[in-house]
Chain A
Amino acid sequence: MTTLDPGLEQGAALAEERPSTLTRSRKRSAILFLVPMLAVLALVAGWPLGRTIYFSFTDATLANLEDPAFVGLSNFYWLAVDPVWWQAVWNTVVFTLASVSIETVLGMVIALTLSAHLPGRGLLRAAMLIPWAIPTVVSAQMWGWMFHDLYGVVNEILLWAGLITEPKAWTADPALALPAIIAVDVWKTTPFMTLLILAALALVPDDVYEAARIDGVNPFKVFFRVTLPLIWPALMVAVIFRSLDSLRVFDLMYVLTGNSRSTMSMSVYARQYLMEFQDVGFGSAASTFLFLIIALLTVGYITLGRVKLGLGER
């Protein structure tokens, strides 16, 4: 099969004589099959994104989306000088770095434990999936209750263990709120990490371990010299997925601490301007900024990922 020739469309009359009628009808049906999906994606993704970028250069409000005035870069200027925005950027970056690295290490430990041939492994794996499967809102509420300053079980346990001397206001204290949110995210998303690492571990051939065991190599050395390099590409993919996801975080912050500045993420900041203050122009500038960060990181990761994968194949 050759690639689609643009000239074919006008050459309908030639169709009968050419041997590629079958190929052509396949291509025509391919287009027909693709159009509905592409139309929906354009309507819910392409067009809205374009509108957001357009709004970010205007003074649009929720009441006036149709005919806003062009204001140039002024929204971006005010965004750049807003300390609350930079706090939100900082919170999001700290959240992403902390939760993704803890999840990766913890996910690795759990995956290595579960990859041993122990009875009831299937059941354990299913149990791991449950935090991943429930709504983030539900996990935020369950932990919000456990973190309660007066009646929370977390305070009770830590007091009993002697780790703290007085009850803490986990979600209200600005110094503790972000760590508390990170703890909930780690609980919720470590299962995802564990499952991806488990899948990668399953692809490592057994005889590699066998050989290392016969040679009497120390298990830690086996892990760092053999296992880790072999699962590295898969691990990186998982880390990228999780990082991009974390940068967009909204539900956890919104449910646990509302619009509180000490924990506000970029998404929470943007939504507050878009929907609560109804300042669509300014909120769109914040959204566009977030979109650009994620787009740049994605492109960077893809380029970097290619290089790494290329090295791995040698």
Chain B
Amino acid sequence: MAARRIAGQVLFWLLVALIVVYTIFPFYWAIVSSLKSGSALFTVEAWPTEPSIANYVSVFSEQPFGRNILNSVIVATAVVALSLFLAVTASHALGRVQFRGRSPLLLMILAVSMFPQVAVLSGLFEVIRWLGLYNNLLGLILAYMIFTLPFTVWVLTTFMRELPKELEEAAVVDGASPWIVLTRVFLPLLWPALVTTGLLAFIAAWNEFLFAMTFTLTNEMRTVPVAIALMSGSSEFELPWGNVMAASVVVTVPLVILVLIFQRRIVSGLTAGAVKG
């Protein structure tokens, strides 16, 4: 009996170890590869014998990768700010006021999140060109609303609905306008939901590829995913793998930090959308 239990324990921990290795190994390999320079890259070894940061230097010097990172930061931050602003006001209406057509409206907003990006590509391209925002970060910020607004509105509406009615009534009796009620009474209570949805919107905008590739033209306007996907080196036939790995590590680090700090919030946001909704 005891032997069987020990065997079970060993098997269990082997399984845990296997899961961890499976999850982590690609990152480990990317880091190891990014530290190899020259021909060392083409030998398989567990740790570089002569670690070098040459790839990290060249990824920033051979292309405007610093600029690409800045673009991604600008776009993702603006997307978070804009979608939260639009979603907070809208969710106040959708969550606290009863009006005819509210449920169909909510369903319609949810339906937008099912749209394949490619189904709006040509129409959106036309809109962006018409607004004069082609090859402009503002065009991307606008385009990204299609996937950040549905879930921010949806999650914040669910959250708004659960806030106690008495708070609002007290403020209204004191003569507060709807705007004051929203910003002074509800907003402070909404913080946890705002952080969660904001994070998810940030990650979604940071990672987006198809729109970013289609609506920008020059190297200087590209965001990080496009820069990494289209990275090319001196040879036409072989990717500069060392640079690609270095760039991948550079953009993964901030996400790892975000995830480690906010993992509870992210998990609750992901599951609120699916389990409750």
Tell whether, in the assembled complex, residue B122 and residue A133 are in contact, meaning their CB atoms are under 8 Å apart: no
Among B23, B109, B228, which residue has its beta carbon within 8 angstroms of that of A128?
B23
Tell whether, in the assembled complex, residue B87 and residue A37 are in contact, meaning their CB atoms are under 8 Å apart: yes
Among A30, A48, A51, A135, which residue has its beta carbon within 8 angstroms of that of B99?
A30
Tell whether, in the assembled complex, residue B114 and residue A151 are in contact, meaning their CB atoms are under 8 Å apart: no
Please judge, given known A-B contacts A41-B145, A124-B16, A138-B225, whether A4 and B99 are in contact too, CB under 8 Å: yes
Q: Is A222 an interface residue (CB 8 A)?
A: no
Count A-B pairs with CB separation below 8 Å: 275
Among B123, B203, B270, B277, which residue has its beta carbon within 8 angstroms of that of A52?
B123
Tell whether, in the assembled complex, residue B97 and residue A45 are in contact, meaning their CB atoms are under 8 Å apart: no
Tell whether, in the assembled complex, residue B123 and residue A47 are in contact, meaning their CB atoms are under 8 Å apart: yes
Give the bracket for the number of chain A residues in contact with chain B.
35 or more
> 0/1 per residue, B167-208, Cβ < 8 Å to A?
000001000011100100000000000000000000100110
Tell whether, in the assembled complex, residue A129 and residue B266 are in contact, meaning their CB atoms are under 8 Å apart: yes
Tell whether, in the assembled complex, residue B16 and residue A113 are in contact, meaning their CB atoms are under 8 Å apart: yes
In the complex, the chain A residue whose C-beta lies closest to that of B178 is A29
Among A2, A41, A65, A250, which residue has its beta carbon within 8 angstroms of that of B146?
A41
Q: Is B22 an interface residue (CB 8 A)?
A: yes
> 0/1 per residue, B232-267, Cβ < 8 Å to A?
000000010100110010011001101110010011
Tell whether, in the assembled complex, residue B119 and residue A49 are in contact, meaning their CB atoms are under 8 Å apart: yes
Please judge, given known A-B contacts A34-B90, A138-B251, whether A200 and B275 are in contact too, CB under 8 Å: yes
Stretch at the interface among A71-79, A96-104, A174-182, A280-288: A280-288
Tell whether, in the assembled complex, residue B271 and residue A199 are in contact, meaning their CB atoms are under 8 Å apart: yes
Q: Is B274 an interface residue (CB 8 A)?
A: yes
Q: Is B214 an interface residue (CB 8 A)?
A: yes
In the complex, the chain B residue whose C-beta lies closest to that of A152 is B44
Tell whether, in the assembled complex, residue A251 and residue B210 are in contact, meaning their CB atoms are under 8 Å apart: yes
- Pick 22 A–B contacts, CB within 8 A, sort by A: A33-B89, A34-B89, A37-B89, A41-B112, A49-B120, A52-B119, A60-B122, A65-B126, A130-B252, A135-B206, A135-B207, A137-B228, A142-B248, A187-B26, A195-B271, A196-B274, A196-B275, A199-B271, A199-B274, A237-B277, A267-B116, A291-B116
Q: A residues 1-49 with Cβ under 8 Å of B?
A: 1-4, 22, 25-27, 29-31, 33-34, 36-38, 40-41, 43-45, 47-49
In the complex, the chain A residue whose C-beta lies closest to that of B86 is A37
Stretch at the interface among B27-35, B52-60, B62-70: B27-35
Q: Which of B12, B120, B252 has the most CB of A within 10 A?
A: B120
Q: How far is the CA of A128 from the CA of B275 in the complex (A)?
A: 19
Contacts of A22 in B (CB 8 A): 172
Q: How far is the CA of A257 from the CA of B210 in the complex (A)?
A: 15
Please judge, given known A-B contacts A45-B120, A153-B44, A196-B270, whether A133 and B255 are in contact too, CB under 8 Å: yes
> 0/1 per residue, B3-31, Cβ < 8 Å to A?
00000000010011001101110110110
What residues of chain A have their CB less than 8 Å away from a CB belonging to chain B? 1-4, 22, 25-27, 29-31, 33-34, 36-38, 40-41, 43-45, 47-52, 55, 60, 62, 65, 109-110, 113, 116, 118, 122, 124-131, 133-146, 148, 150-151, 153, 156, 187, 191-192, 195-196, 199-200, 203, 234, 237-238, 241, 244, 247-248, 250-251, 254-255, 266-267, 270-271, 274-275, 280, 283-284, 287-288, 290-291, 294-295, 298
Q: Which of A153, A191, A192, A254 has the most CB of B within 10 A?
A: A153
Q: How far is the CA of A274 from the CA of B126 in the complex (A)?
A: 12
Q: Is B41 an interface residue (CB 8 A)?
A: yes
Tell whether, in the assembled complex, residue B114 and residue A294 are in contact, meaning their CB atoms are under 8 Å apart: yes
Among B99, B225, B270, which residue has its beta carbon within 8 angstroms of that of A27?
B99
Q: Is B159 an interface residue (CB 8 A)?
A: no
Using A52-B123, A118-B16 as known contacts, list a sample of 14 further A-B pairs with CB atoms less than 8 Å apart, ordered by residue number in A. A37-B87, A37-B149, A113-B16, A129-B266, A135-B207, A151-B44, A153-B29, A187-B23, A199-B267, A251-B210, A254-B209, A255-B209, A290-B119, A294-B116
